[in-house]
Amino acid sequence: MSVKGLVESNSLSSIPSKYVCPPIPEDSVCYESDIVIPTIDFSKLTSCDPRERSEATQLLGDSCRDWGFFFLINHGVSEAMMDEVFRGCESFFNLTEEEKKEFEGRSLMDPIRCGTSFNPDVEKSLFWRDYLKLLVHPRFHAPSKPPGLSEIIEEYCKKSRQVTEELLKGVSRSLGVEENYIHEKMNVRLGTQVFVVNYYPPCPSPELAKGLPEHTDHGLLTLLIQNDLDGLQVHHDGKWVPVCPPPNSFMINTGDHMEILTNGKYKSVVHRAMVNNRATRISVGTAHGPSLDTVVNPSSELITEAHPPAYRGITYKDYLLLQQSNPLHAKSCLDRIRI
């Protein structure tokens, strides 16, 4: 059953035991709220002024190296469009359970899948999260209901792809290689884009449950937005940092394939989603990766005697299957291909 269905069918005063996540002992001590997450100005990254552009590129590289996470402002995607995406996605989750069944999908690579938790077949405790996951590039897929949703998502995905393509040029420049380096090596033109909606209903015991456990994302970069409710935390310097994004910004994290490609220079950031007892939190992520058949290897430009290849090459598709068929936990998937 979906978490939404559970919340609506009961007047819950506590959560069912299968949603209780075992507490992690070292967890309680290391929250920090006064650390400043880097903010990158997209208009400077793409500016005609070489100095402005080079400063923004440097900051992008530093953020990928030191954080694997940053905010992006002045990116040109309007707040109105983001609001439309949230409204549209909310109306998808408001379809009846019967209507949503049509979009459950049967296998991990089905291009349209909705469900609950991450992978209930392999999880010890369930996460307080329902989701809709779509493969939106190179071929676009979206549910046929509710009317109009598919068009909104398609438009948004196109915009987020444009932003990502510029960011990847910036990342290439920050690595000291030609700006189309990642585009060419990762076949970005035919790249994989996955659109994910995370739907976290209000939870009566938010301290016991998790929306998503600590994990890293597959792919090169993930662009994330949320409906005004915070809940994301990123792991930085051994501490959990609560994320409070500036208005109309993207929250952006580096994924495992950025770490593999850069041979560990830019690390994928470990993050998790907490839940609250006030209102439904919705986050929408677009994960951008290489084409499914690309074998991702550490880039030869970043291999030296001091830094030999640290990961085995594996196709993006096989990596996706590996991640989706196992419990989501920290860097467990990346660890499987570490040399």
Ligand X SMILES: O=C(O)CCC(=O)C(=O)O
Please give the residue ranges that form the binding site for ligand X (CB under 6 A): 196, 198, 211-212, 217, 224, 226, 231-232, 271, 273, 283, 285
* 146 prior amide bond cis, ω within 30: yes
Report in angstroms how near the CB of residue 253 gets to ligand X at its nearest.
8
Going edge to edge, which strands form the sheet with 39-41?
39-41, 69-73, 250-254, 221-226, 281-289, 192-200, 130-137, 112-116
The nearer residue to ligand X, 194 or 310, going by C-beta atoms, is: 194
> Residue 207: how many CA atoms within 13 Å on its side-chain side?
2
Among 84, 130, 214, 217, binds Fe ion (CB under 5 A): 217
The nearer residue to Fe ion, 222 or 299, going by C-beta atoms, is: 222
Query: Which H, E and C letters describe 209-251, residue by residue?
Result: CCCEEEECCCCCEEEEEECCCCCEEEEECCEEEECCCCCCCEE
Binding segment for Fe ion (CB under 5 A), chosen from 12-20, 44-52, 150-158, 213-221, is 213-221
The nearer residue to Fe ion, 130 or 217, going by C-beta atoms, is: 217
259 in contact with Fe ion (CB under 5 A): no
Say how far apart CA 230 and CA 83 lie, in whole Å.
Answer: 16
256 in contact with Fe ion (CB under 5 A): no
Structure-token match 């949703």, residue found? 149
- The listed partner (Fe ion, ligand X, none) that binds 232, CB under 5 to 8 Å by sort, is ligand X
Say how far apart CA 106 and CA 112 lie, in whole Å.
Answer: 9
> Residue 209: how many CA atoms within 13 Å on its side-chain side?
24
Residue 70, classed as helix, strand or coil, is strand
The nearer residue to ligand X, 118 or 181, going by C-beta atoms, is: 118
Report in angstroms how near the CB of residue 231 gets to ligand X at its nearest.
6
- The listed partner (ligand X, Fe ion, none) that binds 134, CB under 5 to 8 Å by sort, is none
Residue 291, classed as helix, strand or coil, is coil
Report in angstroms how near the CB of residue 262 gets to Fe ion at its nearest.
19
- The listed partner (Fe ion, ligand X, none) that binds 45, CB under 5 to 8 Å by sort, is none
* Number of residue whose CB is nearest Fe ion: 217
The nearer residue to Fe ion, 136 or 175, going by C-beta atoms, is: 136
- The listed partner (Fe ion, ligand X, none) that binds 283, CB under 5 to 8 Å by sort, is ligand X
The nearer residue to ligand X, 42 or 69, going by C-beta atoms, is: 69
The nearer residue to ligand X, 127 or 181, going by C-beta atoms, is: 127
Report in angstroms how near the CB of residue 196 gets to Fe ion at its nearest.
8
The nearer residue to Fe ion, 4 or 218, going by C-beta atoms, is: 218
Report in angstroms how near the CB of residue 304 gets to ligand X at its nearest.
32
Structure-token match 């030191």, residue found? 66
Q: Contact at 8 Å (CB) between 218 and 336?
A: no
- The listed partner (Fe ion, ligand X, none) that binds 299, CB under 5 to 8 Å by sort, is none
Q: Contact at 8 Å (CB) between 169 and 179?
A: yes
Rg of the chain over CA atoms, in angstroms? 19
- The listed partner (ligand X, Fe ion, none) that binds 116, CB under 5 to 8 Å by sort, is none
14 φ, ψ (degrees, to nearest 5)? -145, 170
Contact positions vs Fe ion (CB under 5 A): 217
